[in-house]
């Protein structure tokens, strides 16, 4: 496995969980008298004050369109460039290889229209199937770096090498992975990688890494007057400038969580430390849920390459009902199929879906225990699906 970089012990150079929680206004919310515990991070995390402030400052004091001579336009150009540089460190690439869009899905559709493509198997990667599917006729192999349903982590470098051996390109969906692990596109050897800042403490936006030579050669749909220079050639129309500013601020927030020299070094320290903390929390969550009669957890157990996200079912209780009842404990979880329809079909839950809980940088031990206690009460209750 080559996709996770672990360079720091659990808390080496990383600020405390209490300090992190102090940055998130949403964590002060109460429901039925109880402080809300947000386990819905795999669908979108809460946003820290520095990110909100950065977006507000841009809109209030620098709002303009790009590439003109007056001050607010120049300031907008500088703000967007700063975010490109921040994501260049996030990906370990050049700023010229970072493009922005409305969301990861839109970016992916836009890129796919510029490519002939063959998609490999999706959320639950089976290597023999992928190896059979990739032939000399394959032009693109698309792979998820981590499953937002099962938490499994894929060997992206192996998939990229398989694609390149057949003369194909490799496109990585890192939406779930980016929230939990260090990204290094050079080490991964991928040609594209896309992610969504709203999964790691930023606003709703999308970010794409594309290798400079590949981005330059893409036959992208664009209006003729638009720039043909990378990376702007793949950014259609006027962008969501405040979203780009907020996305860059989310990276800077992660940088602020660890000590070190360069921004990249601090990012590696922060993401490595958060991943280690997440492993501890996940082990408690997994063990607690598996100790309850009638609860079944899916995905690899602790100790395997994975994110701190677990999907589970409670016998006799629909996933929607589980999520609804947990609200009474001030616990917010998501339920359904999370667009992982193939996985849900294989698990036998294509109709009812599963419950999903994910740990984020602000998740506390108390919240994990509260979630486990809530599921224990639901599993032992009398109200079942009729």
CATH of residue 192's domain is: 3.40.640.10
Query: E-strand spans in 63-124?
Result: 98-101
In a domain, 8, yes or no: no
pLDDT in tens, 89-125: 999 999 999 999 999 999 998 898 888 545 444 445 6
- Give the pLDDT band (50/70/90) at residue 128: confident
255, 287, 321 - which closes a domain: 255
Shared domain for 236 and 327, answered yes or no, is: no
* Segment 153-167 mean pLDDT: 95
237, 255, 273 - which closes a domain: 255
Pairing of strands 334-336, 98-101: unpaired
State the residue range of the domain holding 307: 17-47+263-379
Position 54 scores a pLDDT of 98
Position 11 scores a pLDDT of 54
Question: How many structural domains compose the chain?
Answer: 2
Position 115 scores a pLDDT of 82
In a domain, 384, yes or no: no
Shared domain for 34 and 107, answered yes or no, is: no
> Can you list the alpha helix ranges (DSSP code H) found in 232-379?
241-255, 263-290, 319-326, 341-347, 365-379
224, 255, 286 - which closes a domain: 255
Q: What is the CATH number of the domain that holds 278?
A: 3.90.1150.10
Structure-block tokens of residue 36: 């809300």
Position 117 scores a pLDDT of 47
DSSP symbol at 30:
E
Q: Which residues contact 157 (CB under 8 A, 6 or more apart)?
A: 2, 3, 187, 188, 189
Shared domain for 269 and 150, answered yes or no, is: no
Give the DSSP H/E element, type plus range, for residue 195. Answer: strand 192-195
pLDDT in tens, 181-228: 999 999 999 999 999 999 999 999 999 999 999 999 999 888 889 899
Place of tokens 């009842």: 325
């Amino acid at each position: 496995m080559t996709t996770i970089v672990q360079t720091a012990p659990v808390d080496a150079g990383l600020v405390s969980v209490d300090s992190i929680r102090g940055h998130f206004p949403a964590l002060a919310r109460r429901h039925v008298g109880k402080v809300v515990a947000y386990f819905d991070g795999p669908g979108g995390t809460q946003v820290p004050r520095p990110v909100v402030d950065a977006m507000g400052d841009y809109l209030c004091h620098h709002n303009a369109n790009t590439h003109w001579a007056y001050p607010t336009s120049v300031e907008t150009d500088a703000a967007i460039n700063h975010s490109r540089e921040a994501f260049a460190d996030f990906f370990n690439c050049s700023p010229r290889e970072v493009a922005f869009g409305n969301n990861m899905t839109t970016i992916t559709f836009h890129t796919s229209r510029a490519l002939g493509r063959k998609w490999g198997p999706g959320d639950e990667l089976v290597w023999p199937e992928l190896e059979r599917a990739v032939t000399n006729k394959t032009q693109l192999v698309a792979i998820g770096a981590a499953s937002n349903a099962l938490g499994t982590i894929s060997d992206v470098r192996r998939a990229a090498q398989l694609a390149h051996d057949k003369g194909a390109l490799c496109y990585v969906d890192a939406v779930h992975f980016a929230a939990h692990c260090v990204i290094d596109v050079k080490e991964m050897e991928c040609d594209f990688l896309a992610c969504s800042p709203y999964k790691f403490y930023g606003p709703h936006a999308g970010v794409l890494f594309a290798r400079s030579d590949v981005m330059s050669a893409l036959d992208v749909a664009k209006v003729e007057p638009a720039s043909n220079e990378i990376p702007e050639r793949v950014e259609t129309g006027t962008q969501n400038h405040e979203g780009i500013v907020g996305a860059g601020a989310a990276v800077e927030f992660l940088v602020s969580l660890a000590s070190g020299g360069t921004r990249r070094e601090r990012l590696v320290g922060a993401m490595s430390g958060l991943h280690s903390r997440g492993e501890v929390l996940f082990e408690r969550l997994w063990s607690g849920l598996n100790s309850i009669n009638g609860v079944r957890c899916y995905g690899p157990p602790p100790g395997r390459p994975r994110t701190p996200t677990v999907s589970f079912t409670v016998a006799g209780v629909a996933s929607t009902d589980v999520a609804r009842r947990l609200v009474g404990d001030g616990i917010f979880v998501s339920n359904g199929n999370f667009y992982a329809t193939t996985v849900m079909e294989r698990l036998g839950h294509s109709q009812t879906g599963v419950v999903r809980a994910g740990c984020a940088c602000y998740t506390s031990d108390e919240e994990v225990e509260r979630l486990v206690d809530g599921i224990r009460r639901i599993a032992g209750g009398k109200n079942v699906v009729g």
